[in-house]
Structure 1
Amino acid sequence: MEKELNSHEHSHDHDHSHGHHHHDHNDFTDYKTAVKEYRESFASKKDVMEQAPDPAVREMVKYMDEQGVENCFDRFDKQKPHCTFGLAGVCCSICSLGPCKITERSPRGTCGANADLIVARNLVRAAAGGVAAHGARAREIILTLKKAAEGDVDLPIIGRNKVKAVADMFNLDIKTKSIEELAGEIADILLEDLSRTVPGPHKTLEAVAIPERKRVWEELDLIPVGSYHEVFEALHQTTVGTQGDWRKAMDQFMRLGIAFSMNSVVGGSIASDCLYGVPQRTTVKANLGTLKTDTVNIAIHGHAPQMAMEVIKAGRSEKFIEMAKEAGATGIQFYGICCSGLSTLYRLGGVIPLSNANGSELVLATGALDLWLADIQEVFPGIMEVANCYKTVVVTTNESNRLPGAEHIGYKRDLSDLDKLPQLADRIVTRAIESFKNRRDVKRHIPEHEIEAEVGFNLETLIHRYGSLSTIASALIDGRIKGIINLAGCTNTRIVFEKAIVDIVDILLKNNILVFTNGCASFPMAKLGYCSIKGQEKCGEKLLKFLGPKMPPVWHFGECIDNAHSVAVFREIAKYTGRHMKDLPFAEVTPEWSNEKGVGAALAFRMLGFSSYHCVHAPVHGSQKVKDFLYHGTKELIGSCMNVDTDPAKVAEMIIRDFDEARSNICWRS
């Protein structure tokens, strides 16, 4: 490793010798040509109407078009042609000496930053945004656990076995302390690791990360102080006139990937599991055909489950069921959008998954929703215009996410009134019933597409199913399973909605590759039958043999922070094989990633040794050095790299080829 680092430093010193003439004509010609070709591959609304794999999506886009109601696909088309400088990552607006753009005539910004530095700084800021997004959600749930443990809010700690397991992991005194005391100590550890300013032991990382990864991170000096500090430092480094070395900026980029994983995701996941219990396997109907016309319909949208859990509990109480019936409804039904919908589904059951963020306006246009409960993240401002068209009441619950025109029924930003959650939930359900009464004249348009889906996979439920994960490891070794991917990430309007996800999975299943999924990418899997036994018809013969008569080919792990659960399964399988995860046929696949959390998730997996695969390019075409480092150069450093092709079939081929190579390297049959 030391030799690699020294070699890299020599090549880096050589980079600076180019001086003012760092870029030549061909550099700019090449990146402009590449960006132009990439831009021409972008999908249109017409493409979505004709090619989206979900027939309910095709129908709703067409219906909205006929009704003259705008959605994200319309807005994407109106943005064309997209900015070349933005796509290439060479637009800088960090200070007011600009904004600056890198061109052949102006190869440096006003401060002297060249394309390499500008591209690197923009990536660092994107990764910092991802760490902050998941970290903010993690902080709220950890603080809620702490308040529950200390009796400040009347919430039972349901995941008692999880509390004991985590307490043991942190070497806490589980013999003499109560569950509440242990949960409080766990919350304090997670908060300390999240927000540390004085460098010290990172207890979560020490307890969770495998020794091989810790050694790699330590040798590269990438161990994070904590999420708060690394986001703080990222913004500091990328201010004007601070970090001038693109390669050192990329060190901070990688450091953020570890913080994203260990603090923002793992910390939030532990707190959720301790407070609400580990997700349970459950079967539910999915897609728009499940929408009812005789019930009070409430959509759960976002990523913070505290309010949603209380609203569902209230809505299922006898008091509100009777109130709904008095209003003329047969009951109250809950539907899931994004991750809050998934989180509540596999813990409380009966929350029907409908769509990820990009499809939220399509769901609203059915006219079937009486109240839309919006908490944080991936709640597009554009939903308000559609909601107004169909008289759907939108209620925001979090001060971090306010929408003009929405009603706000939420807790304070300092969480000082979390003990008022039950009263706030009662107000929300009452408002939904009022909305039901006021909306009987609204036209409904509900596509007739629904299917069964099984969700709630994790280490605990798989051990319950198989006894131990040695069964899965044996199938991986003997080739019944060629490899395993974690399918995640959002969807992206650059691609026909959900098509890349489906196309890649179709090819991988035929080639006996098992699929774990979570977050927004899991929605097309759930609503198109991949998470049911029916999905086995997509499988190759060997994978089919492994699955047997009761297991779907795509295992739904839940919301986006449930990456933590899938990594726990990958780690356990690796243990039974006796190999490091980086050497196994494992991969992170986010075909349609679209935001800063997507940057963080893929980067976090790469820091764990998983190569990542995508159909959407990072904004790096403007710097060949950063692009080479990101797409290829990290392989020797951390054992993984980033692979991109806009053609889903080629991405699938890359995964299959790399899995075959990994199997060959450890002398396993392909």
Structure 2
Amino acid sequence: MSNNKTCKSADTVLENFISSLDVETSHHRVEDQKIKCGFGQLGVCCKLCSNGPCRITPNSPKGICGANADTIVARNLLRAVAAGSGCYIHIVETTARNVKSIGETGGEIKGLNALNTLAEQFGITESDPHKKAVLVADEVLKDLYKPKFEKMEIINKIGYEPRLKYWNKLNIMPGGAKSEVFDAIVKTSTNLNSDPVDMLLNCLKLGISTGVYGLTLTNLLNDIVLGEPAIRAAKVGFKVVDKDYINLMITGHQQSVISHLEEELIKPEVVKKAEEVGAKGFKLVGCTCVGQDLQLRGKHYDDVFSGHAGNNFTSEALIATGGIDAIVSEFNCTLPGIEPIADKFMVKMICLDEVAKKANADYFEYSFEDREKISD
């Protein structure tokens, strides 16, 4: 029996398809969650200590500890920013480690120009590309692991020059990225920082380390591992799913984690396994951030990447088409809502990073050293 009570979408074809499904998706839950908590929307609810939750109102302008609305809102915001920053710093750390492992093992460097550009910006003069990759990765990791009181160095080499002046003036140049996340959590704990301006400036500091390292450097390091992007025409949406292939839906943001799998799936002996069960081979179906990134680099993966099917809020509907045979997730944007749908359609879920472990997924801890065994 279909459940046609869904939210409106600019994509009316998708909206109509979701309305016809007999499974629950995020599009259905939007309707069920329309009534929001007013305190939560304003950020004036604090549940940090056992005396809470405290809710700020005109008649109760302070929490039990004495924190006012400004302190509570800033504290909640900084905690949320720290959590988001931690996610992206985790990604760049994983990517840098994979770049280093490729260098140490003499693996394929698909983005030599990207490697050379980064090395030049970092002041690295090594000519051997694999040694160069190790040195570039070490520079990134060294900055990530600095204590808070030691400022990161790469930011001065790749940051936008006019901004650097103002960041220094505001004293928001970040120390080690992982330490900054740690200290932000400490700062926002019970009965510690109560200065909203200081906490908002701390949000800006985390934004700098997240933007320069977690986003910019992650993309540049992925260029080294996966190949540099190229502008080209490419299909998007559910039509990228080819029923003649065994389709693996990929979700996450750590593209370098699945780089070995991409190569394995097009080997003749692997394709033969698919042919033995009546398929033409294997295809990776992009979903969420990793799909968008591979779409940029699609020219390097024409034989295995079918295209970007959609974002995290269309992933449930994608599984419900019946065209997905397995799900490989390695980071965020993997909705909990896909779990019951995967069970219903008997779609196997595999997770490669415990931070994104789904309740019904098989977990294989990823390491570069064990990549062949994991891909098998």
What range describes the TM-score normalised by the shorter chain of this pair? over 0.9
Asked if the contact 1:308/1:344 (under 8 Å) is kept, the reply is no
Asked if the contact 2:103/2:133 (under 8 Å) is kept, the reply is yes
Residue 356 of structure 1: how far off its partner (Å): 0.3
Could you list the structure 1 runs, at least 4 aligned residues long, displaced by more than 4 angstroms after superposition: none
Residue 408 of structure 1: how far off its partner (Å): 2.4
Asked if the contact 2:144/2:152 (under 8 Å) is kept, the reply is no
Asked if the contact 1:194/1:226 (under 8 Å) is kept, the reply is yes
What is the number of residues matched between the two proteins?
A: 369
Partner residue of 1:383?
Answer: 338
Asked if the contact 1:398/1:410 (under 8 Å) is kept, the reply is yes
Residue 105 of structure 1: how far off its partner (Å): 2.1
- Which one of 154, 157, 160 corresponds to residue 109 of structure 2? 157
Residue 99 of structure 1: how far off its partner (Å): 1.4
Residue 212 of structure 1: how far off its partner (Å): 1.6
* CA deviation string 1:268-310 (max 9, x = no partner): 2232122222222333222113322222111111111234222
Partner residue of 1:59?
Answer: 16
Partner residue of 2:139?
Answer: 189
- Which one of 164, 167, 184 corresponds to residue 217 of structure 1? 167
Asked if the contact 2:254/2:331 (under 8 Å) is kept, the reply is yes
Partner residue of 1:358?
Answer: 313
User: Residue 294 in 1 paired to residue 248 in 2?
Assistant: no
Residue 46 of structure 1: how far off its partner (Å): 4.3
Partner residue of 1:374?
Answer: 329
Partner residue of 1:103?
Answer: 57
Asked if the contact 1:60/1:365 (under 8 Å) is kept, the reply is no
- Distance (whole Å) between structure 2 residues aligned to residue 352 and residue 313 of structure 1: 16
- Distance (whole Å) between structure 1 residues aligned to residue 27 and residue 112 of structure 2: 45
Farther off after superposition, 395-404 or 375-384 = 395-404
Partner residue of 2:149?
Answer: 199
Residue 217 of structure 1: how far off its partner (Å): 0.8
Partner residue of 1:338?
Answer: 288
Percent identity over the alignment?
27
Residue 157 of structure 1: how far off its partner (Å): 2.0
User: Residue 319 in 1 paired to residue 269 in 2?
Assistant: yes
Residue 231 of structure 1: how far off its partner (Å): 0.9
Partner residue of 1:75?
Answer: 29
- Which one of 400, 406, 410 corresponds to residue 355 of structure 2? 400
- Distance (whole Å) between structure 1 residues aligned to residue 233 and residue 350 of structure 2: 28
Residue 47 of structure 1: how far off its partner (Å): 5.9
Identify if the C-alpha distance between structure 1 residues 319 and 59 changes in structure 2 by more than 3 Å, giving closer, same or farther. Answer: farther
- Which one of 35, 38, 63 corresponds to residue 84 of structure 1? 38
Q: Find the residue that maps to 1:143 and give its secondary structure.
A: helix
Amino acid at match of 2:108: P
- Distance (whole Å) between structure 2 residues aligned to residue 164 and residue 293 of structure 1: 41
Residue 198 of structure 1: how far off its partner (Å): 5.9
Residue 241 of structure 1: how far off its partner (Å): 1.3
Asked if the contact 1:193/1:263 (under 8 Å) is kept, the reply is no
* Residues 221-232 of structure 1 mapped to structure 2, 5 A cutoff: 221-232=171-182
Q: Which runs of 5+ in 1 are unaligned?
A: 1-44, 427-670
Residue 185 of structure 1: how far off its partner (Å): 1.2
Asked if the contact 2:45/2:56 (under 8 Å) is kept, the reply is yes
Amino acid at match of 1:130: G
Asked if the contact 1:159/1:278 (under 8 Å) is kept, the reply is yes
Identify if the C-alpha distance between structure 1 residues 96 and 244 changes in structure 2 by more than 3 Å, giving closer, same or farther. Answer: same
Asked if the contact 2:6/2:27 (under 8 Å) is kept, the reply is no
- Distance (whole Å) between structure 1 residues aligned to residue 151 and residue 63 of structure 2: 40
Partner residue of 1:171?
Answer: 123
- Distance (whole Å) between structure 1 residues aligned to residue 133 and residue 206 of structure 2: 27
- Distance (whole Å) between structure 2 residues aligned to residue 348 and residue 61 of structure 1: 30
Partner residue of 1:124?
Answer: 78
Asked if the contact 2:260/2:372 (under 8 Å) is kept, the reply is yes
Identify if the C-alpha distance between structure 1 residues 245 and 198 changes in structure 2 by more than 3 Å, giving closer, same or farther. Answer: closer
Identify if the C-alpha distance between structure 1 residues 243 and 95 changes in structure 2 by more than 3 Å, giving closer, same or farther. Answer: same
Asked if the contact 1:146/1:183 (under 8 Å) is kept, the reply is yes
- Distance (whole Å) between structure 2 residues aligned to residue 208 and residue 321 of structure 1: 42
Partner residue of 2:69?
Answer: 115
Question: When the two structures are superposed, what TM-score results if normalisation uses the length of structure 2?
Answer: 0.93
Farther off after superposition, 369-378 or 260-269 = 260-269
* CA deviation string 1:374-408 (max 9, x = no partner): 11101111101011111111111112121122222
User: Residue 348 in 1 paired to residue 301 in 2?
Assistant: yes
* Residues 261-280 of structure 1 mapped to structure 2, 5 A cutoff: 261-280=211-230
Q: Find the residue that maps to 2:314 and give its secondary structure.
A: helix
Partner residue of 1:94?
Answer: 48
Partner residue of 1:474?
Answer: none
Residue 246 of structure 1: how far off its partner (Å): 0.9
User: Residue 285 in 1 paired to residue 230 in 2?
Assistant: no
- Distance (whole Å) between structure 2 residues aligned to residue 94 and residue 213 of structure 1: 35
Residue 366 of structure 1: how far off its partner (Å): 0.4
